[in-house]
Amino acid sequence: MSRRMLNLGILAHVDAGKTTLTERLLYSAGVIDEPGSVDKGTTRTDSLALERQRGITIKSAVVSFTVGDTTVNLIDTPGHPDFVAEVERALSVLDGVVLVISAVEGVQPQTRILWRALRRLHVPTLLFVNKIDRRGAEYARVANDIAQRLTRAIVAMGSVRGQGTHGAAFIPFEAADTAFRSRLAETLAERDDAILAAYVDDHGAMSYDWLHKKLAEQIKDTQVYPVYSGSAITGAGVGSLMHGLTDLLPTVDHDATGPVSGRVFKIDRGVSGEKIAYVRMFSGTITVRDRVRFGRGDEGKVTAVSVFTEGTSMRGDSVTAGQIAMLTGLAEIQVGDMIGTPPAAADQHHFAPPTLETAIVTRDPRDKARLFVAMTQLAEQDPLINVRQDDIRQEIYVSLYGEVQKQVIEATLATDYGLEVDFRETTPICVERPVRTGMAEESLHAPANPFLATLGFRIDPAPDGSGIEFRLDVEHQAVPLYIYKNMENFAAAMEQFVRQTLREGLYGWQVIDCVVTLVRSQYSVPDGPPSKRGPLSGPQDFRKLTPLVVMAALKQAGTEVCEPIHRFRLDTPADTLNVLLPVLAKLHAVPEVSATEGLWCTLEGNIPAARVHELRQQIPSLTRGEGIMESSFDSYEPVRDPVPARPRTDDNPLNREEYLQRVTRGAVRDKGEQRQPGELKPGSNILKT
Low-confidence ranges of the chain (pLDDT < 50): 1, 46-58, 79-80, 346-349, 666-689
For 193, 208, 541, the CA distances from 218, given in Å and listed in that order, are: 13, 15, 58
- The pLDDT, as a whole number, for residue 689 is 26
The answer for residues whose C-beta is within 8 angstroms of residue 379's C-beta and 6 or more apart is 385, 386, 387, 685, 686
CATH number listed for the domain at residues 432-557+655-679: 3.30.230.10
The three-state DSSP-derived secondary structure of 362-400 is ECCHHHHHHHHHHHHHHHHHCHHHCCEEECCCCEEEEEE
Backbone dihedral region for residue 284 (phi beyond 0: left; psi -120 to 50: alpha; all else: beta)? left
The three-state DSSP-derived secondary structure of 63-128 is EEEEECCEEEEEEECCCCHHHHHHHHHHHCCCCEEEEEEECCCECCHHHHHHHHHHHHHCCCEEEE
Alpha-carbon distance of 451 to 442, in angstroms, equals 9
- The pLDDT, as a whole number, for residue 304 is 94
Give which of 606, 571, 604 is closest to 588, Cα–Cα.
Answer: 606
The C-alpha angle with vertex 588 and arms to 587 and 589, in degrees rounded to 5, equals 90
Alpha-carbon distance of 635 to 464, in angstroms, equals 9
Strand partners, 455: 442, 521
Backbone dihedral region for residue 637 (phi beyond 0: left; psi -120 to 50: alpha; all else: beta)? beta
- The pLDDT, as a whole number, for residue 154 is 95
Residue type, 249: L
Backbone dihedral region for residue 632 (phi beyond 0: left; psi -120 to 50: alpha; all else: beta)? beta
For 24, 154, 224, the CA distances from 17, given in Å and listed in that order, are: 10, 21, 23
- The pLDDT, as a whole number, for residue 47 is 44
Provide the 8-state DSSP code for 146. Answer: H
Look at the alpha carbons of 528, 532, 537, 542 in this order and tell me if their dihedral is positive or negative.
negative
Alpha-carbon distance of 556 to 652, in angstroms, equals 16
Alpha-carbon distance of 476 to 487, in angstroms, equals 7
- The pLDDT, as a whole number, for residue 478 is 92
Same CATH fold, 562-638 and 356-426? Answer: yes
Give which of 255, 265, 216 is closest to 343, Cα–Cα.
Answer: 255
- The pLDDT, as a whole number, for residue 103 is 96
- The pLDDT, as a whole number, for residue 332 is 85
Reduced to 3 states, what is the DSSP secondary structure of residue 490? helix
Give the up-direction half-sphere exposure of residue 672: CA atoms within 13 A in the CB hemisphere. 2
Provide the 8-state DSSP code for 586. Answer: H
Radius of gyration of the chain, Cα coordinates, nearest whole angstrom? 28
Q: What are phi and psi of 426, to 5 degrees?
A: -80, 130
In a 10 Å sphere around its CB, with 0-12 CB exposed, 13-18 middle and 19+ buried, how is residue 482 labelled?
exposed
Helix intervals (H) in 418-506: 481-484, 487-501
3-class SS shares of the chain: helix, strand, coil, % to 5: 30, 30, 40
Residue type, 196: L
Does the reported pTM lie above 0.95? no
Alpha-carbon distance of 508 to 686, in angstroms, equals 16
The DSSP-derived string for 309-333 is ETTEEEEESEEETT-EEEEE--TT-
Fold adopted by 261-340: Elongation Factor Tu (Ef-tu); domain 3 (2.40.30)
Alpha-carbon distance of 123 to 249, in angstroms, equals 10
Starting at the edge strand that comes first in sequence, how are the strands of the sheet with 438-442 ordered?
A: 438-442, 453-461, 514-523, 468-472
Reduced to 3 states, what is the DSSP secondary structure of residue 449? coil
- The pLDDT, as a whole number, for residue 288 is 95
How would CATH label the architecture of 356-426? 2-Layer Sandwich (3.30)
**Spatial contact of 511 and 434, defined as CB atoms under 8 Å apart:** yes
Alpha-carbon distance of 67 to 505, in angstroms, equals 55
In a 10 Å sphere around its CB, with 0-12 CB exposed, 13-18 middle and 19+ buried, how is residue 302 labelled?
buried
> Would you tell me which CATH number, out of the four given (3.20.20.105, 3.60.110.10, 3.40.50.300, 3.40.640.10), belongs to the domain 4-248?
3.40.50.300
Q: Which is it for strands 225-229 and 125-130: parallel, antiparallel or unpaired? A: parallel
The three-state DSSP-derived secondary structure of 178-244 is HHHHHHHHHHHHCCCHHHHHHHHHHHHHCCHHHHHHHHHHHHHCCCCEEEEECCCCCCCCHHHHHHH
Q: Where are the domains of the chain?
A: 4-248, 261-340, 356-426, 432-557+655-679, 562-638
Look at the alpha carbons of 277, 325, 65, 214 in this order and tell me if their dihedral is positive or negative.
positive
Alpha-carbon distance of 292 to 320, in angstroms, equals 14
Alpha-carbon distance of 356 to 352, in angstroms, equals 12
Provide the 8-state DSSP code for 17. Answer: S
Neighbours of 562 (CB within 10 A): 19
Fold adopted by 562-638: Alpha-Beta Plaits (3.30.70)
Q: What are phi and psi of 674, to 5 degrees?
A: -135, 55
The answer for residues whose C-beta is within 8 angstroms of residue 305's C-beta and 6 or more apart is 286, 287, 288, 315, 316, 317, 318, 319, 325, 326, 327, 328
